[in-house]
Amino acid sequence: MKFFIDTANLSQIEEAQALGVLDGVTTNPSLMAKEGIRGEANIINHYKTICEIVDGDVSAEVISTDFDGMVKEGEALAALHPQIVVKLPMIKDGIKACRYFSAKGIKTNLTLVFSVGQALLAAKAGATYVSPFIGRLDDISTDGLHLISEIREVYDNYDFETEILAASVRHTMHIVDCAKIGADVMTGPLSAIEGLLKHPLTDSGLAKFLEDAKSL
């Protein structure tokens, strides 16, 4: 299972990279705005900096919602760095743009996916990644993890190569559950990744080892 960090915060990306388990980064306009990244030149520089920190795929989202606009923006983003993955919204023109980019060998990530039908379309259009948002489904009292299971089943039925990127991961157990189901990738906050480290028996066991080591 690949681990992506879902942020545009450079310190957090550096910290996750230093841990040695990071496979990529996902961003979106909200995450970029949260870091105060504004203006085309700053946005471009920010993506380039992220690509220099991480040795893996970096999803950069288009803002356009029409085919021509998505193609223009996506081509410019893809030209920035070989690690850039063009992130496209799950709408009709997003699917058309996905087919356009996959035919050109440019990686894509279909975002804002909330149903199996949408995931099926993304795979048919040759998406590199499909991003079902599990946390946002949980937010409306719907089982986000169940969607991951259903997409896994459908993709396995037909050996689709599109990777299931469990997105909108909010906490550590989301990661563990996605791994059990067989999501190919998860993207979440640093806190959820670091939560995997924690167990009280590890802490108390280490404290005892260190105490006993004093008598050696």
Site for ligand E4P, rule CB under 6 A: 6, 26, 28, 111, 131, 133, 135-136, 167-168, 187
60 φ/ψ sector (left φ>0, alpha ψ -120 to 50, else beta): beta
The nearest distance, CB 102 to ligand E4P, in angstroms, is 18
The nearest distance, CB 131 to ligand E4P, in angstroms, is 5
126 φ/ψ sector (left φ>0, alpha ψ -120 to 50, else beta): left
- For ligand E4P, the closer of residues 26 and 128 by Cβ is 26
- For ligand E4P, the closer of residues 63 and 206 by Cβ is 63
Residue closest to 48 by CA, chosen among 84, 76, 13: 84
SS3 4: strand
Q: Any idea which residue has 């563990």 for tokens?
A: 176
The nearest distance, CB 73 to ligand E4P, in angstroms, is 17
Q: Is 107 a catalytic residue?
A: no
Residue closest to 60 by CA, chosen among 22, 52, 192, 51: 51
Q: What is the 3-state secondary structure (H, E, C) of 135-200?
A: HHHHHCCCCHHHHHHHHHHHHHHHCCCCEEEEECCCCHHHHHHHHHHCCCEEEECHHHHHHCCCCH
- For ligand E4P, the closer of residues 121 and 130 by Cβ is 130
- For ligand E4P, the closer of residues 125 and 169 by Cβ is 169
Q: Which of 2, 34, 72, 87 is catalytic?
A: 87
The nearest distance, CB 67 to ligand E4P, in angstroms, is 21
User: Which residues are catalytic, by number?
Assistant: 87
